[in-house]
Amino acid sequence: MPAVEVHSIYKSFEDVKALKDISFSVEEGELYGFIGPDGAGKTTLFRILNTLLIPDEGTATVLGLDVVDDYKTIRPMLGYMPGRFSLYQDLSVQENLEFFASVFGTTISENYELVAPIYSQLEPFKNRYAGKLSGGMKQKLALSCALIHKPKLLLLDEPTTGVDAVSRKEFWEMLVDLKKQGIAIIVSTPYMDEAKLCDRVALIQEGSLMQIDTPLNIVNGYDRPILGIKSRNTYKLLQALKLYEWTHSAHPFGEFIHFTEKREKPDMIALEAFLLDNGIDDAVIKEVEPGIEDSFMALMRKEVASD
Amino acid sequence: MTDPAIFTKDLTRTFGAFTAVENISFDVKKGEIFGFLGANGAGKTTAMKMLTGLLAPSSGEASVNGFDVYTESEEIKKSIGYMSQKFSLYDDLTVSENIEFYGGVYGLPTKALKQKIEEILYTIKLTEVKDALVVSLPLGWKQKLAFSVSILHNPSVVFLDEPTGGVDPVTRRQFWERIYEAADKGITVFVTTHYMDEAEYCDRVSIMVDGKIEALDSPENLKRSFSTDSIEDVFIRLARGAKRSDT
Amino acid sequence: MSSFRGFIIKEFKQIYRDTRTLIVLFGMPVIMLVLFGFAIRNEVDDVKIAVLDFSKDEVTREITHKLSASPSFELSAYLNTYDEVRDIFKAGEIKEVVVFEDDFGRKLVRDGVADVQIITDATDPNLANIVQSYTSNILRDYTNSKNSRLQIEASGITPEIRMMYNPELKSVNLFVPGIIAVILMLVSALMTSISITREKEMGNMEILLVSPLKPIHIILGKVLPYLALSIANVVVILILARFIFQVPFEGSYLFFFLEAGLFIMTALSLGVLISSSANNQQTAMMISLAGLLLPTVLLSGFIFPVESMPVPLQMISHAIPAKWFLIIVRDIMLKGSGILLLWKETFILLVTTAVLIAISLKKFKVRLQ
């Protein structure tokens, strides 16, 4: 039995179509990522899965139970971390955890094992008010609170937004560890680079799923060879590439610009000559492997083209 | 040699016994894109507040556009632009009303302002939605608009606090093109971000750990001296050693 | 049950830690009592009066002496002619002139009736009224003490006045019940609605809804701490009223607290109701202030008597729970009334509360939409 099964869900708010024809399934013990920018519909989808919203159309089951009819049975089995979630600022770290434990009818000591790897990092600060924690620590506490009742499914809505790269990396390491305990985890994020740590990812944009697959397959599915081009003056390089007749796309990626051509096989020599003509004499060109973000952007372009 | 756009020397700010920013010293050249990185709680926000004239330093020197942060904070405010994810636009005003409002705040003459509004709407391709309430726009569009508004009065320095958080990858890149364009016009850009790939777009980046600047150089040099191929590695190596993870 | 207990403990901790709000909640009744008890009141002290005595006999001298001995009056001029009256009022210092007719003492002894004229400066009608009634009282006291047969007639009609239950017309006696009503509205309705909407605003409500806590638990958990706070507040007000302002308490304390408990329930259910339609603290606060506190202050009879309002406003005031509570509290405190006399008002409050609780339970959403 899959942990989550969703069939053709639609949801609108007044005249905004938040979700359009969403279908997917999450297996038990899977780490499943929804990757997409703010406003893509991730939060609405999570609220349907946690039974707080009712879909306009379509069906969804969580742990084998219908999200509309069986919401009372589903709720205690979920661990949910909303995006805006900010804990109780005026309660201490320990009091927050105690509170959520008691609300779910358990105690910290009863399920300590599960949260120990995460919560032990916070224990030196257990008497500090949650309002005085940094972003990274808040996320850890929130995760502990969502886990304290041993949920069967963890729903984490943008847990790493606004958190620095180090804390984000640590957070994902924790998720990978949790997965080993057999808990299914669904997580959403606007950071594309986090996708590679998921078993499967669903790319979501403007309420529609663009693709669902393993990170590796998504990247492998990228159909054009990508060239990385580097120059001291990135802006000038970018401007020049926009004028090049064979340019299909040119996007900055770190120090390189990822460049694809309309032709099947890019001509590096012609490109170099063109850049030289446009005053860029220090261009370094090399072939690069596509990433999730390349795929996401290519899919976005296709969606726009098909609209 | 012209004066730097931003200059700090041993800049320090303490809150009681806690030193949020400790003896930071750096220069930002005119027209430079300067990436200001650091973990949550490293002291970035405090440093930004001092440079934008919102918070007085405890000790040390700092100037922005040649204005002293202690004595000339009003002049500083007039000569800089500021944009953050938290503070930006009025949701309940339309696109053009927002531009108009900020134009008014900075005292732009009515006629010039009208022209400026058209110009901005055209550059960021929002002419069609100029009468739409900002609340109805996708986040990426809002951020582009907020950036245009922050440089409306032709400031010589613009401070951007996590301008691209949560924005889709295409819009994020369009946003950076706007930043390049502004820098090309000679505007100095001081930017913080949690996207490490964006750090690579900067001319130079500084990495703050526990209130101090631990590294400051061009992305290329930083990667070379840490013998790695991404700024993210540099950042993680420096920030992992952080003692304090909160403010 | 333990999940509910955990919830209550958390609520108390949060309230206890919000020192600023607590200071306001307990400081407010004190400030209001002091304001209404000392500053805003209907009694007068040391009003300057003048006497125009055409008789100048022993009786008029004695009465004049009684007037000037009263703490309410300060005798500051003797006039000789009527013409001076106008001038003296124009000067503005003197608010009342008492005129004794010719042969006043003799007429009084011979006929048992003598005329006295009381002229007041009615630029401040309230003050003029009070001064006039004080003077009449003093005159009546005098005649009563001499001989019940004697009568002094103020020009025009002499009303037979007897102030019952609040003979000194102390305004604080009237205001204390009103203050109790306002404070209970504030603590119970306003604070409850803010506390619930804060959970929504912080995103914590989503988790509480998803948790095994039942909606009734969430509501009760939010409501109980404020019930306790409200009762504590009522006790503070009563103690202050009793020992600082000597406000009488004629009725039964048990009956009083039962009625207060009922009114608190009304206010709490209003608070829950507000929070179900408001999505942020600001809206909750505006609705509570404009929709509950303002009518409680202005239309319940707290400051302005309901009887003197235009009919449409009177109709509205019937719909304000505080109006009924005010009647109940005033009657308990000043008249010592019991349930036999107050069953109608109590019944109205009971029904209102039951309806409000039913609506707010029904409106409390188990989902977000």
Closest residue of chain A to C10, computed from CA coordinates: A99
Chain B residues 58-77 with a CB less than 8 Å from chain A: none
Question: B205: Cβ–Cβ under 8 A, 6 or more apart, which residues?
Answer: B34, B35, B36, B37, B199, B215, B216, B217, B218, B219, B222, B231
Q: Report how far residue A242's alpha carbon sits from residue A239's, in angstroms, rounded to the nearest whole number.
A: 5
- Contact at CB, A37 and B169, closer than 8 angstroms: yes
In single-letter form, the type of residue at position A292 comes to I
Domain ranges of chain B: 6-240
CA gap C196, C212 in Å, rounded: 18
Chain B residue with CA closest to A165: the answer is B194
Neighbouring residues of C320: CB distance < 8 A, sequence distance ≥ 6: C295, C296, C299, C300
pLDDT score for C170: 63
Read off the amino acid at residue A123.
E
Residues of chain B in contact with residue A255, where contact means CB-CB under 8 angstroms, are: 200, 219-220
Report pLDDT digits (tens) over C71-114: 888 888 888 888 888 888 888 788 888 888 888 888 877 777 77
Beta bridge partners of B18: B15
> Distance (Å, rounded) from C-alpha A111 to C-alpha A150?
7
Q: How many domains are contained in chain A?
A: 2
Task: For residue range A139-175, list pLDDT tens digits in order.
Answer: 899 999 999 999 999 999 999 888 888 888 889 999 9
Q: What is the distance between the terminal CA atoms of chain C, rounded to a whole angstrom?
A: 28
Please name the residues between 142 and 171 in chain A that touch chain C, using a CB distance below 8 Å. Answer: 145-146
pLDDT at A16: 86
pLDDT above 70: residue C151: no
What average pLDDT does range C186-193 have in this prediction? 89
pLDDT exceeds 90 at position A105? no
Specify whether the CB–CB gap between C328 and C342 falls below 8 A: yes
Together in a domain, A29 and A142:
yes
Which residue spans within chain C are E strands per DSSP?
47-53, 73-79, 96-100, 113-120, 151-154
Q: Supply the pLDDT for residue C155.
A: 44
CB atoms within 10 A of CB C251: 21
- Is residue C166 scored above 60 in pLDDT? no
Rounded to whole angstroms, how far apart are CA atoms A97 and A159? Answer: 17
Whether C339 contacts chain A with CB within 8 A: no
* Beta carbons within 8 Å of C183's beta carbon, 6+ residues apart: C28, C29, C32, C230, C233, C234, C237
Residue B173 contacts A where some CB pair is shorter than 8 Å: yes
Q: How many Å apart are CA A106 and CA A112, to the nearest integer?
A: 11
Residue C353 φ then ψ, to 5°:
-65, -45
* pLDDT at position C169: 53
CA distance linking residue B19 with residue B244, whole number of Å: 11
In the CATH scheme, what architecture does the domain C47-154 have? Answer: 3-Layer(aba) Sandwich (3.40)
Q: Nearest-CA neighbor of A196 among A223, A174, A170, A176?
A: A176
Residues A44 and A188 in one domain: yes
Q: How high does pLDDT run on average in chain B?
A: 89
For residues C31 and C25, give the distance between their C-alpha atoms in angstroms, rounded to a whole number.
Answer: 10
CB A193 within 8 A of CB A48: no
Q: What is the pLDDT of residue C70?
A: 84
Q: First-to-last CA distance in chain B?
A: 38
Distance CA C176, CA C268 (A): 21
Q: Do B39 and A192 touch (CB under 8 A)?
A: no
| Residue ranges of A 90-109 with Cβ closer than 8 A to chain C | 90-91, 95, 98-105
Are A16 and A71 in contact, with CB atoms under 8 Å apart?
A: no
Residue A264 structural domain: 226-289
Cβ distance of B165 and A133 shorter than 8 Å: no
Position C94 scores a pLDDT of 85
Q: What is the mean pLDDT of chain C?
A: 83
Question: Which of C6, C13, C203 is nearest residue A86 as measured by Cβ atoms?
Answer: C203
pLDDT by residue (tens digit) across C242-297?
A: 888 788 888 999 999 999 999 999 999 999 999 988 888 999 999 999 988 888 88
For helices C321-330 and C253-277, the axis angle rounded to 10 degrees is 170
For residues A34-61, average pLDDT: 93
Of A71, A95, A105, nearest to C3 by CB-CB distance is A105
pLDDT for position C80: 86
Return the H-helix or E-strand segment holding C249: none
d(CA C42, CA C55) in angstroms, rounded, equals: 33
More confident of the two residues C160 and A300: A300
Same domain? For A65 and A106 the reply is yes
Tokens of B100: 């108009």
Chain-chain contact of C207 with A98 (C-beta, under 8 angstroms): no
A194 and A214 in one domain? yes
In angstroms and rounded to an integer, the radius of gyration of the C-alpha atoms of chain B is 18
Among C8, C17, C207, most A C-beta atoms within 10 A, so best to mutate, is C207
3-state class (DSSP) for residue A111:
coil
- Cα separation of B194 and B163, whole Å? 10
String of DSSP letters for C108-125: HHHHSEEEEEEEE-TTSH
Query: C279 at the A interface (CB within 8 A)?
Result: no
Instruction: Render pLDDT for B80-89 as a digit per residue (tens, 0 to 9).
Output: 999 987 657 8
Question: Taking Cα atoms as reference points, which of C152, C229, C155 lies closest to residue C186?
Answer: C229
Nearest Cα to Cα of residue A147 among A177, A189, A191: A177
ipTM: 0.81
Q: What percent of chain C has pLDDT over 90?
A: 23
With an 8 Å Cβ cutoff, is B177 touching chain A? yes
With touching defined as 3 or more inter-chain CB pairs under 8 Å, the answer for chains B and C is: no
Nearest chain A Cα distance for residue B56, angstroms = 22
For residues B182 and B158, the answer to whether their CB atoms sit within 8 Å is: yes
The answer to whether A21 and A210 are in contact (CB under 8 A) is: no
Residue A210 forms contact with B (CB below 8 Å): no
- Token duo for residue A100: 């959520």
Which chain A residues are Cβ-neighbours of C364 within 8 angstroms? none
Return the higher-pLDDT residue of A257 and C70.
Answer: A257
Q: Summarize pLDDT for A4-21 with one digit per residue, the tens.
A: 999 999 999 988 899 999
Closest residue of A to C3, CA-based?
A103
- β-pairing, C73-79 with C47-53? parallel
In a domain, A301, yes or no: no
State whether residue C10 sits within 8 Å of chain A by CB.
yes
pLDDT at C230 exceeding the cut of 80: yes
- What's the CA gap between B148 and B154, in Å, rounded? 10
Among C3, C202, C210, whose Cβ lies nearest the Cβ of A86?
Answer: C202
Per-residue tokens: A224: 């054009």
Q: Which of residues 207-226 of C touch A (CB under 8 A)?
A: 207-213
B45 CA to chain A: closest CA distance, Å?
13
**A141 and A230 part of one domain:** no
Q: Find all residues with CB under 8 Å of A154, minimum gap 6, and list them.
A: A78, A79, A80, A81, A146, A147, A178, A183, A184, A185, A186, A187
Rounded mean pLDDT, C327-353: 91
Chain A with chain B: Cβ pairs closer than 8 A: 105
Which of A164, A233, A284, A303 to substitute to test the interface with B, most B CBs within 10 Å?
A: A164
A259 within domain boundaries? yes
Q: Reduced to 3 DSSP states, what percent helix, strand and coil does chain C have, rounded to the nearest 5? A: 70, 10, 25
Cβ neighbours around A208 below 10 Å, total:
16
Residue ending a domain, among A193, A220, A247, is: A220
Confidence band (pLDDT; 50, 70, 90) for A248? very high
Q: What is the pTM of this model?
A: 0.81
- Whether residue C144 lies within 8 A of chain A, CB to CB, comes out as no
* Cα of A173 to nearest chain B Cα, Å: 14
Chain C CA closest to residue A98: C6
Distances (CA, A) of C197 to A200, B51, C227, C269: 37, 37, 18, 14
CB B38 within 8 A of CB B62: no
Question: Does residue A241 sit within a domain?
Answer: yes
Among C227, C181, C109, C231, CA closest to C333: C181
**Cβ contact, residue pair B139, A39, below 8 Å:** yes
A85 interaction partners in chain C (CB closer than 8 Å): 202-204, 206-207
Task: Give SS3 for B85.
Answer: coil
Task: Tell me whether residues A254 and B197 touch, CB distance under 8 A.
Answer: yes
Which CATH homologous superfamily contains domain B6-240? P-loop containing nucleotide triphosphate hydrolases (3.40.50.300)
Residues of chain B with pLDDT under 50: 1, 245-247
Residues of A in contact with B204 (CB under 8 A): none
